[in-house]
Structure 1
């Protein structure tokens, strides 16, 4: 309840580092399916359309972000009626900032400096929605001084790169669940929702956003194996060679390779904790 679970798969990945039992994934799926709060707030989410132009994958956390606004919310006890959603495109971690729809560009710029630049430093680029304040001369002048490149979502897709759309849907689901479970004004629950979101497993990066991104000494992204998806056995005349098909966290998206099982097991034993489907024996 206190983690504001966002679904069976994410709840499973959040819990598996702490608990493990036979049939765990099935039990969690059954528990979530019977959750009254979950059934009330969870909407059917369609897969977002592909991009007209694919943005480059960032090489460092909090250097390239997307920003969007959730508007038309009921006015909170603090006088807010909107949320500024700011998402790091690499780690998928996010900040949910309560604002008012009538805030001018100058006010948003001050919040941006205090909440984002002060925490994460000057950014490389921003993909924003088509709100007029993000196209204003003041906003563009600020980013030009900071050396941050601006891209409007119309250059890619009406919902930026799809990341903001998915994050906003998750935010709305979690916020509804939190208010239903604890009551009170939504803005008082927003910090709890942000904390929960940033500690939730994300399938697109196969980890929680607050987990450290693996880099080498030159600050370059390090590819690592994520999971074993299949096993096979190569049958020769006098021996059998066990192979595993591995999915990697490549910058270009999901990549798969076949590896020798005995060598791979020694290097990455943590990937051999769950049963993996086997293909037919090769000859």
Structure 2
């Protein structure tokens, strides 16, 4: 602030008065509200009946009947909303420029039970199989003894002026009137098309009928406006279908790119190509550039993976432009490799590579600290540490499954050298085969657990 030449000045709290929308004095009522003549003229222009309603400060209003609210509210014949609207442009005094016209709307909605609605309930009780026995029993001066089932139905019921009430103040509604009641609580302006829970609580506070929750849920689920305006809340369609487990190491790999990294090293690497074996979970990390195309990506993949681990039967990758390019697909098809692309927006197809990206990013953040441009110097250390650590899915270190024995790590070099026992080739191959089989069994168990957990948030779907 000193460099900018700003001098702070203290203002006491009482003197610090800032004009805002809340502290400004409201304009005069005669300037904001239209006159009675203007209201009458507006009502005649819209062919609406004009009926003054007493409000504070004698503000005149115009009232619209339910028929003028549009087709959306035409299905509410038994609810009588009263809507008041008034609009007029605000004008300044003489000699001042007129401001932009502003609309002042006063909306008051009150849904009241009409007499026709109550009469329909009285007449319909006698034909309703649920409420008719209750009405007959409560209408008798000397009712007979109750059966256990009927006593359960009669619990909380009362009769007043020919109308049945549940729990004192909840009017019993017939099936033919349930749609009108739910529409009056869910679709008007004051309802805002809320969900099943809020709509049910509003309906249940005033009305009652059997299986009310099911009726409200069906009504809200079938509401056209809710289906168009709200996002889906149902579980994802389609159950999880894991990929088959490979039979030997480096037969199938997952490929992904970790992008948006700061330029690192003399060559300015800003992308990491992540290649993961789907069986032993060994990873190969290759620094590259974001400008590398399909040919450059194929070259470094062949140099670091194919020439050192052998060619792959299957390569799982996302729909990156480099992977869907014709050069990439033709190159691997000529060598006998099959490229499988993940469906768009389904990152769980190559989920192992996505999870490896997260692990790699967290490890690099811990190593580089504030030297973000040096991440490429630690990349191969992260690769060795990951491949020499025991994987949760297989139960073995990736290098142990790849080479047949656990690699030496720096702490092991400080231990005294012991005489290594001689080993037989058959015994070595047998132990390696057992390790691969045990890793496959562990992966199969892990897949079952992941599939069970993922399907809790999914639902079966046809043709998926």
Structure 2 length-normalised TM: 0.36
Q: Pick the aligned partner of 2:346 from 157, 168, 186.
A: 157
SS of corresponding position for 2:249? coil
Q: Which structure's residues are more often strand, by fraction? A: 1
Q: Pick the aligned partner of 2:383 from 172, 176, 194.
A: 194
Residue 247 (structure 2) pairs with residue 63 (structure 1): no
SS of corresponding position for 1:177? helix
Q: 1:250 to 1:207 in 2, by over 3 A?
A: closer
Contact 1:178 / 1:193 at 8 angstroms: preserved in 2?
A: no
Contact 1:55 / 1:161 at 8 angstroms: preserved in 2?
A: no
Q: Which structure's residues are more often helix, by fraction? A: 2
Give the structure 1 partner of residue 146 of structure 2.
none
1: CA distance, partners of 2:382 / 2:399? 14
Contact 1:59 / 1:220 at 8 angstroms: preserved in 2?
A: no
Contact 1:127 / 1:150 at 8 angstroms: preserved in 2?
A: yes
Contact 1:201 / 1:208 at 8 angstroms: preserved in 2?
A: yes
Q: Which has the higher contact order (CA 8 A, sep 6+)?
A: 1
Q: Pick the aligned partner of 2:360 from 126, 149, 171.
A: 171
Structure 1 length-normalised TM: 0.58
SS of corresponding position for 1:133? coil
Residue 441 (structure 2) pairs with residue 249 (structure 1): yes
Structure 1 gap segments, 5+ residues each? 1-49, 227-247, 256-283
2: CA distance, partners of 1:221 / 1:200? 15
Residue 295 (structure 2) pairs with residue 106 (structure 1): yes
Q: Pick the aligned partner of 1:146 from 311, 322, 335.
A: 335
Contact 1:66 / 1:88 at 8 angstroms: preserved in 2?
A: yes
2: CA distance, partners of 1:212 / 1:79? 34
SS of corresponding position for 1:86? strand
Which entry has the higher C-alpha Rg, 1 or 2?
2
Contact 2:250 / 2:312 at 8 angstroms: preserved in 1?
A: yes
Q: How many residues align?
A: 184
2: CA distance, partners of 1:111 / 1:128? 16
Q: Pick the aligned partner of 1:72 from 260, 271, 274.
A: 260
SS of corresponding position for 2:323? helix
